[in-house]
């Protein structure tokens, strides 16, 4: 199982759909994608994690890194996730306070702070 990534633009947001396993081996691929988007001027990101089967702390680190990058441009990074086993990891690390987590891409795309 590898990591799959696809991006699309919805209004002023860029939606990154992630599938598969995000771990120490695959996380660099996600990091590259986020870095590339920010370098290309996409500062409002929505990371759709509905097809993610596994996420570990390396993946969390990449998401935190992405958040740091978009914030440097006054951007945003929102997550879409309804899977309890993935949400649990955000909860035990306290990251639910750091990331806005939405139940659908539509909700995330329309969200404002």
Partner 1 sequence: MATVELRFSALPEHVRTARLVAAAVARRAGVDEAVLDEVRLAVGEACTRAVGLHRSNGVDMPVRVVLTEEEKKFSIEVGDEVPETSSGPGSRTGDEAAGHPAPAAGEPGAEEAEDEGTMGLAVISGLVDDVEVTSGPGGGVIRMSWPTTPTVELP
User: For binding to partner 1 (CB under 8 A), which residues are involved?
Assistant: 1, 21, 23-25, 31, 54, 56-58, 60-62, 64-65, 68, 85, 89, 92-95, 97-98
Cβ closest to partner 1, residue 10 vs residue 83: 83
Cβ at position 15, least distance to partner 1 in Å: 22
Nearer to partner 1, 70 or 105 (CB): 70
Residue closer to partner 1 by CB (options 57, 110) is 57
Least Å from the CB of residue 10 to partner 1: 26
Give the CA distances from residue 3 to residues 44, 85, 109, in Å, rounded to whole numbers and listed in that order. Answer: 22, 18, 23
Question: Rounded to whole angstroms, how far apart are CA atoms 25 and 58?
Answer: 9
Q: What distance in Å separates the CA atoms of residue 111 and residue 88, rounded to the nearest whole number?
A: 23
**48: alpha, beta or left? (left if phi > 0; alpha if psi -120 to 50):** beta
């Amino acid at each position: 199982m590898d990591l799959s990534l696809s991006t699309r633009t919805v209004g002023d947001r860029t939606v990154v759909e992630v599938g598969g396993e995000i771990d120490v081996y695959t996380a660099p691929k996600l990091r590259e994608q986020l870095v590339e988007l920010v370098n290309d001027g996409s500062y409002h990101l929505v990371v759709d994690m509905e097809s993610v089967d596994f996420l570990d702390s390396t993946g969390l680190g990449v998401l935190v890194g992405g958040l740091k990058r978009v914030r440097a441009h006054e951007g945003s990074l929102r997550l879409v996730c309804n899977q309890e086993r993935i949400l649990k990891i955000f909860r035990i690390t306290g990251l639910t306070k750091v990331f806005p987590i939405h139940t659908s891409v539509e909700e995330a795309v329309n969200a404002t702070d």
